[in-house]
């Protein structure tokens, strides 16, 4: 039996091809955490989580993730059998509160290692894949209407994306909604348009702007209100026909249960990092599915490694009403894996080789790690 002998956590900074504007920050360089778990035979499981804008998005900064894994989680891993990843994660959950991003790093690296020990794709250890490919959205976030329209038309021409998300939480809401309207006029007959507010509106603003967005034909409104405002989200869901999607408000299983009980939305964004790993993501998806919530395969803008992890788990989930947005690697100037993602006919292809289907580029890791 080859048990865990070593755990290494690295922080990397990857530059993006263009500024990526969100409500809380503008990304030009993305901070990510790479996890490496090695067994006694020298095999290595690899994983990644990304964070957005330091502490502006959430409490799980890359620095906190690394520090808490090194101090509080690694001691529970050494000597353990990675094929018992479910048992190990259950034990860790009793000893370590919260820290979902840190738990995701560890769990996914263990699953990758277990799959490599057994020489099978990682998705075979988490229920088996349903999908060979999934619809892939692209976020138009330059902040410039003409640039966004040009970018959308090029993506349609390449058959890369026909679902576009617009980040409209920063700046003047009236101007942002007009920006959405111009893009719908330009490409709305060939693509589905969604918007993400990133918690930036109050309820008064949301009532006015969602009415306008609904009339334009936007298909989904993501997290218009702050994550704590479940009652406001419920009122918006009841008032409008357009889907109201919860993201930052739906992290843990308990959050998801509360979201559904209060009908504080009618759709939910999945993200392995925010849920605490693959197993928790599948549980959240099952709860949402049972309640009739539409699912969206979300992203923390991971690079090609984290993207492969998300693709593998999403491949095991029955239906994504709003597709996925695991486009992260397409936003970076470089990658940390030998393999790139494959997008064909508006769909991302699910990797089929051993583990999560990607190989870490050691030279790139050495170049980009802090």
Give 66's contacts (C-beta < 8 A, 6+ positions apart).
Answer: 9, 10, 11, 33
Please confirm, yes or no, whether 167 is among the known catalytic residues.
Answer: yes
Order across the sheet with 44-51: list the strands. Answer: 4-21, 26-39, 44-51
What spatial distance separates the first Cα and last Cα of the chain, rounded to whole Å? 34
Report helix angle 173-187 to 145-157, nearest 10. Answer: 30
Which of 103, 116, 165, 167 is an active site residue? 167
Give 152's contacts (C-beta < 8 A, 6+ positions apart).
Answer: 138, 140, 161, 164, 183, 186, 187, 191
Strand bridging mode 243-246 / 192-196: unpaired
Strand bridging mode 294-297 / 267-270: parallel
- Concatenating the DSSP letter of every residue in 306-324 gives HHHHHHHHHTTSS--TT-B
Strand bridging mode 26-39 / 44-51: antiparallel
Range list of H helices, 74-137: 74-77, 85-95, 100-118
Of residues 185, 9, 40, the one with CA closest to residue 103: 9
Alpha-carbon gap, residue 69 to 221, rounded angstroms: 35
The residue assigned the tokens 């991971």 is 302
4: tokens are: 């865990």
Which residues are catalytically annotated? Answer: 167
């Amino acid at each position: 039996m080859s048990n865990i002998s070593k755990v290494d956590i690295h922080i990397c900074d990857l530059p993006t091809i263009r500024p990526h504007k969100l409500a809380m920050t503008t990304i030009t360089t993305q901070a990510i955490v790479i996890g490496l778990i090695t067994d006694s035979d020298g095999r290595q499981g690899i994983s990644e989580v990304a964070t957005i804008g330091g502490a502006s998005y959430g409490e799980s900064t890359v620095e906190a993730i690394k520090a808490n894994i090194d101090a509080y989680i690694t001691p529970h891993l050494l000597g353990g059998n990675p094929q018992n990843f479910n048992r190990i994660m259950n034990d860790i959950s009793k000893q370590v509160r919260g820290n979902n991003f840190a738990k995701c790093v560890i769990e996914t690296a263990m699953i990758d290692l277990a799959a490599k020990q057994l020489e099978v794709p990682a998705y075979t250890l988490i229920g088996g894949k349903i999908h060979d490919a999934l619809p892939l959205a692209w976020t138009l976030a330059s902040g410039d209407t003409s640039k966004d329209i040009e970018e959308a038309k090029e993506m349609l021409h390449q058959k890369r994306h026909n679902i576009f998300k617009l980040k409209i939480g920063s700046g003047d809401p009236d101007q942002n909604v007009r920006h959405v309207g111009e893009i719908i006029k330009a490409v709305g007959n060939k693509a589905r348009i969604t918007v993400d507010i990133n918690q930036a509106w109050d309820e008064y603003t949301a009532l006015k702007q969602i009415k306008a967005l609904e009339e334009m034909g936007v298909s989904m409104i993501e997290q218009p209100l702050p994550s704590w405002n479940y009652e406001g989200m419920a009122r918006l869901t009841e008032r409008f026909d357009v889907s109201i999607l919860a993201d930052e408000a739906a992290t843990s299983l308990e959050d998801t249960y509360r979201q559904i009980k209060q009908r504080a939305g009618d759709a939910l964004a999945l993200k392995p990092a925010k849920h605490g790993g693959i197993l928790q993501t599948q549980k959240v998806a099952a709860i949402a599915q049972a309640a009739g919530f539409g699912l969206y395969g979300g992203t923390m803008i991971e690079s090609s490694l984290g993207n492969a992890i998300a693709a593998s788990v999403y491949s095991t989930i029955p239906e994504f009403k709003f597709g996925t947005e695991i486009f992260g690697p397409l936003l970076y100037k470089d990658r940390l894996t030998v393999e790139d993602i494959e997008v064909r006919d508006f769909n991302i292809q699910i990797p089929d080789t051993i583990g999560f289907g990607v190989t870490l580029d050691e030279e790139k890791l050495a170049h980009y790690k802090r």
